[in-house]
Chains A and B, each alone.
Chain A
């Protein structure tokens, strides 16, 4: 197993002590099969117990360990050491305030996620005793991709528009609204449109597509945003040019 000495340059910030963020460099003996999270854990266990960062599953499903690695938003548990040179810079996710070291304040994202009513608003009521709603594999495929978001927020860190206009509801939340809108069991699109189709909703998106590029789960939020835009445009035309046609 080949081992490499990596210079890990980590952003440090303790609001109780530091007036501004600074960088601290650790020299870490890394196995080539390691991910950046393994290197951080090595630091935490052996070099400096004061370093703070979030992590849990180490298998890219809990979404805790999103951070900027050499300037790109990545999951630390899926950023392989062998893909980097001997110097790796690690910073907290861009566009979010820093709480401490690599830990960001994510309340804004959580609020936006809640604002799009990301839950099934059933078309028809059905008691449990009547069994499951039928949904064919073809109907499932229409929205399945958008259910795969792990809320890691890499797309917000990559989105230039969210950096400029923090009110923008953003890729993951809009993709999640779209997920429920596309679900054959759902009848809640109108209720979601209020947020999703607002000025801070899809119309803020400048379609750079960076969100889809960084998504570790291939959710393609950019695709979802474009579909929402098209659907919202059709709504507008129907409403203003053909008021006699029901949505």
Chain B
């Protein structure tokens, strides 16, 4: 097996991975940096983020306001020291991107423009029309091309971490085009491989979002934190889950039920605000968890619009006018016309909540370090946690910049701290095991199980038991089902026996990652007997700060469900309070 010697190897080349790579190249041009991804960097799912990135820049805003919006939005499950670091670094990172050429939308005087977003008291979302993630990703990718020390390994699928002497020393990865396994040796590894939304049937997430990075760390012993918190974005196209950005509501779009009522006023987010004049942090600019939950209640009451794609509510943007929609929301208009055959300039658009983001992920401290020495993580795959129980829209793009860079700084410091010499034989033995595991998928005779069959059952049970509202009973059934699927997964084989670009094999590996992550979500949710942020239990409807102002930590077991442990939330200055999104607050 070929050994690739690097100083620091990064798994994932989306926003966080690219930001980390650039930071490393800038800190020390002599570093050997390997940027390893199962797709070409510009295919990474950062590209699909639309709305924008939060950072305090305007004189009417303050770091305290951003702090309060984030911590309250997260239902006090965020670690406040991490939030403080995040909001301090946010503006610098966004300016850095501007210096690298990101085409941020502008005010007439040439300064960067900001737009309102849900759960934010002040307009602070930097945006590049409604293609903000796309522009951030391409700006980072193109900037990364300046640095010869960043060696890219595009279309390499990382399969297992190599852990020896108590520290992570690299990983094995399959070169997809040849099917050959390679051993990446590194003094530190950064995982930045995105979320796992594909465990659900209806998601904004692209096909590649299969939790591979989370599962890599989890199987190597690093716990997954707060996995039970899954964000539903309130406005997805009903036929295929394509996201319509929160910017639609930020610019003044309103949500209506079948009677034309702005139903959010009935769920603690009223009184009604004037149409086309959005008021921050109330009504349509409430936080995502509350909006998605309101949809569920409307559905229970029979107030939703019945469409051929299921129950929907309506997102009405007609009053914004064609000019504003074209200028601020061109992608939204294009997506509605292309994929739904409806023009938001002319008619209200049916939408429903859609799985969008995992608040949980690989447990890291404020330095982006995991409990496994030598292993760091950033971006959606990680849980720092700044997002707590519910992420505010436009914090995640900034997060991948701030903590992508932080992971690079920490990894470099770790590498320079004086490490023992790698034992090649031990690493080689582990790499060989990883290769054998892949080979077994080729050799196993065809059985009853199919990858698609197991995947469908997984998605179905996750939607049934671990959706917007959950019950102990439903979650127990989902936990049992996932445990069963994990057992059945052991028996799968692949039909495609070719070594060259074998997507049958990739999908088998991705399904394994998803099942591991799904079990952490379901078990975490079953054991969290309270309602907080995006985790809502019909059998435990109140938040329980007495017992559960804690992060959950799921520890992997190869055959059994994860062991769940708890860790106190870091509270520095904001004691848990009431999340008030009514217009009458203050």
Q: Which of A50, A53, A131, A144 contacts B498 (CB 8 A)?
A: A50
A14: Cβ under 8 A from any B Cβ:
yes
> Is there contact, CB below 8 Å, between A148 and B501?
no
Nearest-neighbour CB distance to chain A for B390, whole angstroms, equals 24
Please give me the residue from chain B that is nearest to A183 by CB atom: B101
> Is there contact, CB below 8 Å, between B498 and A16?
yes
A244: Cβ under 8 A from any B Cβ:
no
Which B1-47 residues have a C-beta within 8 angstroms of A? 39-40, 42-45, 47
Q: Which of A49, A105, A122, A183 contacts B451 (CB 8 A)?
A: A49
Which A56-78 residues have a C-beta within 8 angstroms of B? 56-64, 78
Q: Which of A33, A46, A99, A119 has the most CB of B within 10 A?
A: A119
Q: Which of B47, B95, B108, B145 contacts A57 (CB 8 A)?
A: B47
Which A112-127 residues have a C-beta within 8 angstroms of B? 113-114, 117-120, 122, 126
> Is there contact, CB below 8 Å, between B335 and A150?
no
Residue-wise, chain A 13-56 has the 8 Å CB interface mask toward B (1 for contact) of 01111000000000000000100000000001110011111111
> Is there contact, CB below 8 Å, between A148 and B452?
no
> Is there contact, CB below 8 Å, between A103 and B501?
yes
A180: Cβ under 8 A from any B Cβ:
yes
Residue-wise, chain B 111-148 has the 8 Å CB interface mask toward A (1 for contact) of 11000000000000000000100110010001101100
Q: Which of B100, B101, B110 contacts A134 (CB 8 A)?
A: B110
Bound form: Cα–Cα A150–B142 in Å: 12
> Is there contact, CB below 8 Å, between A120 and B99?
yes
Nearest-neighbour CB distance to chain A for B522, whole angstroms, equals 24
Bound form: Cα–Cα A117–B146 in Å: 7
Please give me the residue from chain B that is nearest to A57 by CB atom: B206
> Is there contact, CB below 8 Å, between A128 and B42?
no
Beyond A56-B43, A103-B501, A110-B40, whether A132 also contacts B101 by CB under 8 A is: no
> Is there contact, CB below 8 Å, between B96 and A128?
yes
Beyond A122-B99, A185-B101, whether A147 also contacts B135 by CB under 8 A is: yes
> Is there contact, CB below 8 Å, between B239 and A137?
no
Bound form: Cα–Cα A78–B370 in Å: 40
Beyond A49-B495, A52-B502, A100-B498, whether A63 also contacts B101 by CB under 8 A is: no
A226: Cβ under 8 A from any B Cβ:
no
Residues from chain A with a CB closer than 8 A to the CB of B106 are 135-137, 140
Bound form: Cα–Cα A14–B101 in Å: 41
> Is there contact, CB below 8 Å, between A132 and B501?
no
Bound form: Cα–Cα A78–B39 in Å: 20
Which B485-513 residues have a C-beta within 8 angstroms of A? 494-496, 498-504, 507
> Is there contact, CB below 8 Å, between A62 and B498?
no
Beyond A45-B452, A50-B495, A59-B335, whether A133 also contacts B98 by CB under 8 A is: yes
Nearest-neighbour CB distance to chain A for B31, whole angstroms, equals 19
Size range of the chain A interface in the assembly = 35 or more
Bound form: Cα–Cα A154–B271 in Å: 50
Q: Which of A49, A110, A120, A185 contacts B504 (CB 8 A)?
A: A49
B180: Cβ under 8 A from any A Cβ:
no
Which A129-163 residues have a C-beta within 8 angstroms of B? 131-137, 139-140, 143-144, 147-148, 150-151
A1: Cβ under 8 A from any B Cβ:
yes
Residues from chain B with a CB closer than 8 A to the CB of A151 are 40, 42
Bound form: Cα–Cα A105–B101 in Å: 29
> Is there contact, CB below 8 Å, between A99 and B500?
yes
B444: Cβ under 8 A from any A Cβ:
no
Please give me the residue from chain A that is nearest to B143 by CB atom: A119
A234: Cβ under 8 A from any B Cβ:
no
Please give me the residue from chain A that is nearest to B500 by CB atom: A100
A106: Cβ under 8 A from any B Cβ:
yes
> Is there contact, CB below 8 Å, between A132 and B95?
yes
A7: Cβ under 8 A from any B Cβ:
no
A186: Cβ under 8 A from any B Cβ:
yes
> Is there contact, CB below 8 Å, between A134 and B111?
yes
> Is there contact, CB below 8 Å, between B42 and A59?
no
B436: Cβ under 8 A from any A Cβ:
no
Which B231-266 residues have a C-beta within 8 angstroms of A? 239-240, 242-243
Beyond A16-B498, A100-B498, A128-B92, whether A64 also contacts B339 by CB under 8 A is: no
> Is there contact, CB below 8 Å, between B42 and A118?
no
Which B36-78 residues have a C-beta within 8 angstroms of A? 39-40, 42-45, 47-48, 57
Nearest-neighbour CB distance to chain B for A10, whole angstroms, equals 14
> Is there contact, CB below 8 Å, between B48 and A131?
no
Nearest-neighbour CB distance to chain B for A81, whole angstroms, equals 12
Residues from chain A with a CB closer than 8 A to the CB of B40 are 106, 110, 151
> Is there contact, CB below 8 Å, between A61 and B500?
no
Q: Which of A15, A57, A118 contacts B45 (CB 8 A)?
A: A57
> Is there contact, CB below 8 Å, between B101 and A180?
yes
Bound form: Cα–Cα A143–B106 in Å: 14
Bound form: Cα–Cα A14–B499 in Å: 9
Q: Which of A15, A80, A148 contacts B500 (CB 8 A)?
A: A15
Residues from chain A with a CB closer than 8 A to the CB of B338 are 60, 78, 80
Nearest-neighbour CB distance to chain A for B210, whole angstroms, equals 10
Which B145-183 residues have a C-beta within 8 angstroms of A? 145-146, 154, 177
Beyond A50-B498, A131-B95, A186-B101, whether A56 also contacts B110 by CB under 8 A is: no
> Is there contact, CB below 8 Å, between B503 and A52?
yes
Please give me the residue from chain A that is nearest to B206 by CB atom: A56
> Is there contact, CB below 8 Å, between B452 and A119?
no
Residues from chain A with a CB closer than 8 A to the CB of B112 are 132
B475: Cβ under 8 A from any A Cβ:
no
B348: Cβ under 8 A from any A Cβ:
no
Nearest-neighbour CB distance to chain A for B103, whole angstroms, equals 5
Please give me the residue from chain A that is nearest to B92 by CB atom: A128
Beyond A136-B108, A137-B108, A185-B101, whether A56 also contacts B39 by CB under 8 A is: yes
Bound form: Cα–Cα A50–B101 in Å: 42
Q: Which of B99, B177, B206 contacts A126 (CB 8 A)?
A: B99
Residues from chain B with a CB closer than 8 A to the CB of A99 are 177, 500-501
Nearest-neighbour CB distance to chain B for A60, whole angstroms, equals 7
Bound form: Cα–Cα A186–B98 in Å: 12
Nearest-neighbour CB distance to chain A for B44, whole angstroms, equals 8
B109: Cβ under 8 A from any A Cβ:
yes
Residues from chain A with a CB closer than 8 A to the CB of B143 are 119-120
Bound form: Cα–Cα A49–B498 in Å: 12
- Interface CB pairs A-B, < 8 A, 13: A16-B500, A56-B208, A58-B207, A59-B48, A62-B45, A106-B40, A119-B146, A120-B143, A128-B95, A128-B96, A132-B99, A134-B110, A136-B109
Given contacts A49-B494, A50-B498, 6 further A-B contacts (CB under 8 A): A52-B502, A56-B206, A117-B146, A136-B110, A140-B103, A144-B103
**Footprint of B on A, CB under 8 Å?**
1, 14-17, 33, 44-46, 49-64, 78, 80, 99-101, 103, 105-106, 110, 113-114, 117-120, 122, 126, 128, 131-137, 139-140, 143-144, 147-148, 150-151, 176, 180, 183, 185-186
For the complex of A and B, list the 8 residue pairs with the smallest distance between their C-beta atoms, beginning with the closest.
Answer: A134-B110, A120-B101, A56-B206, A100-B501, A50-B496, A57-B206, A45-B452, A132-B98
